[in-house]
């Protein structure tokens, strides 16, 4: 039960937050204002979501004058990929074990 994996799942569970991350992945760096415009929630809400994404390592921020630019940091998805393939791997192992058993029973 890795802490990083836990934080990732918790952070990506919220649809509004996930949508913000998706937009940053698709369209690249964006200011808070641009993200707010099509998010459906208020600017403070977006700022809070960006704070959560940043704490999970999913985004980086860059200050330029009075604007803050955010960009996705997809490397942070690695624990998610690892967890998923681990789960799939366990399943595959049990399939293999069953296969072995059947083969041994066949003889």
| Nearest C-alpha neighbor of 7 from the set 60, 78, 71, 72 | 78
Q: How far is the CB of 70 from a copy of itself (least distance, A)?
A: 14
Q: How far is the CB of 24 from DNA (least distance, A)?
A: 13
Nearer to DNA, 50 or 76 (CB): 50
- Cα–Cα dist 90/34, whole Å: 43
- Cβ burial, residue 61 (10 Å; 0-12/13-18/19+): middle
- Cα–Cα dist 55/105, whole Å: 53
Q: How far is the CB of 6 from a copy of itself (least distance, A)?
A: 6
Backbone CA torsion sign across 95, 2, 23, 73: negative
Binding mask 63-92 for a copy of itself (x = CB under 8 A): ---------x-x--x--xx--x--xx-xx-
Binding site for a copy of itself (CB under 8 A): 1, 6, 9-10, 12-13, 15, 18-19, 21-22, 25-26, 28, 72, 74, 77, 80-81, 84, 87-88, 90-91, 94
């Amino acid at each position: 039960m890795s802490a990083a994996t836990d934080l990732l799942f918790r952070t990506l569970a919220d649809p509004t937050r996930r949508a913000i991350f998706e937009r940053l992945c698709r369209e690249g760096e964006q200011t808070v204002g641009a993200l707010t415009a099509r998010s459906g929630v208020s600017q403070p809400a977006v700022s809070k979501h960006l704070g959560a994404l940043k704490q999970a390592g999913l985004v980086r921020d860059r200050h330029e004058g009075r604007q803050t630019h955010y960009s996705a940091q997809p490397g942070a998805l690695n624990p998610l990929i690892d967890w998923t393939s681990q789960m799939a791997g366990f399943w595959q192992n049990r399939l293999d074990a069953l296969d072995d058993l059947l083969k041994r029973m066949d003889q």
